[in-house]
Amino acid sequence: MNKLGKILILIGLLAIFGIFEIYKNSGTKVIKIYSANKIAIDLNRNKIIDDGEIVCIPDFDVYTSDIKIDQSSLAKANNLSKTDSIKIGYLTDKFAENLLNNKNVKVNFYDNHTPTCKLAEITVNNKKYKEEVFNEGFALINNKPYNTSKFNDLLEQARRLTLVVANPSSEKFHSLNCKYGINSADYEILPIEEAEKLYQKCKYCLKNYKENVQTTAIKPNYPEQKLAPATHTNEILHKENITFIVSDFTQILKSDRKCSHHFCTEMVNVINSTTKTLDIAAYGWADIPKVSSAIKNAEKRGVKIRVIYDKRNGKEYYPETQAFISSQKQTCSDENLNNKTLTSMLMHNKFLISDNSKVYTGSMNFSTTGLSGFNANNVVVISSPTIASLYAKEFEQMYSGKFHTEKVKNPNYRTEKINNTQISAYFSPQDKVITSKIIPLINKAEKYIYIPAFVITHKGLTEALINAKNRGVNIKIIVDATSYGTRHSKNEELKIAGIQVKGENLAGKLHTKSIIIDDKVVITGSMNFSNSAETKNDENSLIIEDEDIAKFSRKYFEYLWAKIPEKWIHSTIRAESKDSIGSCSDGLDNDYDGKTDSEDSACQ
């Protein structure tokens, strides 16, 4: 073969190779989306996924709805629950599928690859795919959103979704945390309204689900939230030897140390009236001048003061606690140097015992946000040597160094009748209050159950509420905005069952832990409705059977319900955002993300 022939052959081979490369990179199709930054491309055009056809787009992370992928560290970095991470992942996956699936793309490979992926840049519709992911707000850099504002908008949109795990093999759909859904080999994540058309509900995790419940969000666009007009609500009820106090946090948009609220003035009155002994159980403490002065004056007149407190909390949440403890002569914390597990549990009580005859207790922490009425709480002041003796026995155990599961159950009768009011006092974790006392009361409810609560995560309580709903009991729940970021929150499960759950939209926390039943019973105290509160933490709970107090509490709940827009039944409120009234100007980190007011992207 002459020289010219060889040159022509070489040119021909180069041309064929070039044409192949152009052909490959201009018409190769995406045939599977694993996540928004991991896809399969049919490079050899045989319509199956072969070795070397899985492509990753480097330098950014994304969420995915794939429940087999561990996203816990990514979720933790952004203060998201597992459910939230799946929901935002669902939107991310849908974005990638709509843009890429079965589309022709151009692929420019990088020199370096991973054991499972070829790294590449992808172009679709003459646009770089990576830039599209960034522009739409789905991308994360170093575990944080690249575009925080757009990501937060997407997150709010995601939280309005009610998603389920559908299993085509069994033809059933499950809740996102159902073991039968999670363990399925074949599954897909779907909005519940789509799953209803194709599959049957799981009788294990959705046994109380009602098909006629509207579960999807209504109109996503709402006007900017403003403070609702003030209407009167009573904050204090005096009845014989009982004073019951609540706070209208819809009108208090900043905390202070003035001690002008009933919470604080009643505490000062209790301290000032003490002549012999004052026992204080404090989850945390703030320096309120009038309270501090009352404490000092009590010491001067010879009152014996003892304090028990939560050691971990004293270091982390209420920095002024340690200064107060240092100023007292007789103190004891729940720190157990030989058992870190016990120390990690909470001494979550907030009560005072005056002269072994009067108890000041409730949901309120002894903090600026609590004592000012900025947070929604309730406080009960009871003049009763019997009730005081029950609290004193509990206090003595803890002051002797026995906290949490080391305490012993008080065998004494727990109920005192003061005229027409019956009061029962119980203590966690020994009394298993939710299971042994609260759930039986819910099971007996006939007309209504109203719950203003910081959080609900207790499974048994959730099931009892759903059962009550199914037998016709009217149930309404208001939860704190931060509850939606709690990993084990039962909000979605309750909503799926047809129960109205409304998130509060105020700067202050909805910190009450109350249940009101049939104008007959009010349950309140320090205990959140969680498993930890029932089985680990030191807590106190009161069951008050009194028509006047129940009606007072019910009217207060109805007042809050009317003040909080209906929007927040269907949409998820962020604790620090323009939607949460006052949260962007209160000087507090309301969502615990380390950013306050204008520093938080949702307030910008």
Helix, strand, coil percent content, the chain, rounded in steps of 5: 35, 25, 40
Separation between Cα atoms, residue 594 and residue 599, nearest integer Å:
9
DSSP 529: B
DSSP per-residue string spanning 463-521 = HHHHHHHHTT-EEEEEE-GGGGG-TT--HHHHHHTT-EEEE--BSS-B--B-EEETTTE
> Is residue 262 annotated as a catalytic residue, yes or no?
no
Separation between Cα atoms, residue 422 and residue 205, nearest integer Å:
38
Place of tokens 């996956």: 93
CA angle 387, 273, 330 (to 5 degrees): 75
Query: Which one of the listed residues 38, 350, 469, 511 is annotated catalytic?
Result: 511
Q: Which of 363, 372, 534 is nearest to 452 (CA)?
A: 363
> Is residue 404 annotated as a catalytic residue, yes or no?
no
Query: Which one of the listed residues 404, 476, 513, 536 is annotated catalytic?
Result: 513
How far apart, in Å, are the Cα atoms of 488 and each of 99, 115, 380, 451, 454?
33, 36, 29, 18, 13
Place of tokens 């490959």: 24
> Is residue 513 annotated as a catalytic residue, yes or no?
yes
Separation between Cα atoms, residue 55 and residue 174, nearest integer Å:
32
User: Which residue pairs, CB below 8 angstroms and at least 24 apart, start in 129-135?
Assistant: 129/57, 129/99, 129/100, 129/105, 130/57, 130/59, 130/60, 132/99, 133/36, 133/37, 133/57, 133/60, 133/62, 133/95, 133/96, 134/60
**CA 579, 580, 582, 588 torsion: positive or negative?**
negative
Separation between Cα atoms, residue 41 and residue 48, nearest integer Å:
9
Query: Which one of the listed residues 66, 518, 548, 589 is annotated catalytic?
Result: 518
Residue 488 CA to chain centroid, in angstroms? 7
Query: Which residues are designated catalytic?
Result: 511, 513, 518
